[in-house]
Amino acid sequence: MRTTVSFLIGAVFGATGVLMWVTETRANPRLKDEAVSASVPAPGVTPPSVMPTGLPPLQIPVEGIRPENLRRDFDQKRSGGRSHQALDILAPRGTPVVAVADGTIRKLFNSRAGGLTIYQYDEAEKTCFYYAHLDRYAAGIREGMPVKSGTLIGYVGTTGNAPPSAPHLHFAVTRLPPTKEWWKGEAIDPYPLLTAR
Ligand SMILES: [Zn+2]
């Protein structure tokens, strides 16, 4: 009898121990996945669709443009010793411009250099997308308006300092500061975000 009782107690505690281990492993998948995620992917394996910046790939903002049409010009020199810090996408005047990701129209701004511009935030309000030299805004576009990836927001043009003979979208991506001012972001090269599909 005594042996049976201690066996039962042992079995109960043993089962509890196994149960606790299973629960912990389930609650914290990193316990068993650490080794997998730390390993280098085998050749030919598609890398996960998250960029080094931590941002997901973006929709190309100009209708009819494919990744192979884009030319990286983020570091190109501009007047006054500045660099471009953006991506120029050439397209005929009036070509539709669409939102690159879900989010909100934060600011519609007319500046001397950028002309008609849109500042869009992503849903997390950590990233700002900047569309410049627009010919005009899409009908009904207003500040505070939610948009989806692919929503028509404007049309390619040459407003601001774009050469009248070379209509293009000047597209920039910035990482917003915690205080989230639309003019204070830190530039990220948009090219890898638009070509990673
Ligand atoms: Zn530009």
27 and 75 share one domain: no
Residue 2 CA to ligand 1 centre (angstroms): 85
pLDDT surpasses 80 at 155: yes
Instruction: Tell me which residues have their CB within 5 A of the ion that is ligand 1.
Output: 86, 88, 170
The reply to whether 91 and 182 lie within a common domain is: yes
Instruction: Report DSSP state, residue 114.
Output: T
pLDDT, tens digit, for every residue of 94-119? Answer: 999 999 999 999 999 999 999 999 99
25 and 72 both lie in a single domain = no
Cβ atoms 120, 103 nearer than 8 A: yes
Helix and strand element counts for the chain (H, E): 3, 9
| Closest-CA residue to 129 (of 77, 185, 197) | 185
**CA 180–ligand 1 middle distance (angstroms):** 23
- 59 occurs within a structural domain: no
- The region of weakest confidence among 53-57, 103-107, 137-141, 178-182 is 53-57
28 and 93 in a single domain? The answer is: no
Asked if the structure places residue 85 within a domain, the reply is yes
What residues contact residue 64 under an 8 Å CB cut-off, 6+ apart? 91, 95
Ligand 1 centre to CA of 27 (Å) is: 47
What is the arithmetic mean of pLDDT over 15-40?
Answer: 39
Position 77 scores a pLDDT of: 92
Q: Give the per-residue pLDDT at 18.
A: 41
Q: What spacing in Å lies between the alpha carbon of 166 and ligand 1's midpoint?
A: 11
For residue 60, tell me if it sits in a domain: no
Q: How confident is the model at residue 55 (pLDDT cuts 50, 70, 90)?
A: confident
Residues 108 and 177 in one domain: yes
Domain assignment present for 156: yes
Query: Are residues 88 and 155 both part of a single domain?
Result: yes
Task: Output the pLDDT for position 64.
Answer: 97
- Residue 44 is assigned to a structural domain of this protein: no
Q: In which domain, by residue range, is 6 found?
A: 2-38
Q: pTM of this prediction?
A: 0.74
- How big is the CA angle at 134 (ends 133 and 140), to the nearest 5 degrees? 150
Give residue-wise pLDDT tens across range 62-90: 999 999 999 999 999 988 888 999 999 99
Kindly tell me if the per-residue pLDDT of 153 is higher than 80. Answer: yes
CA distance 76 to 82: 9
Domain shared by 164 and 73, yes or no: yes
Q: Which of 162, 106, 152, 160 is nearest to 130 (CA)?
A: 106
Q: How far is the CA of 89 from the centre of ligand 1 (A)?
A: 8
State the distance from the centre of ligand 1 to the C-alpha of 85, rounded, in angstroms.
8
Provide the percentage of residues in the chain whose pLDDT is more than 70.
73
Say whether both 97 and 188 belong to one domain.
yes
Share of the chain above pLDDT 90, in %: 68
Question: Quick check: is 180 in a domain?
Answer: yes
pLDDT the model gives residue 196? 85
Do 91 and 172 lie in one domain? The reply is yes
If one counts the domains in the chain, the total is 2
Q: Say whether both 148 and 84 belong to one domain.
A: yes
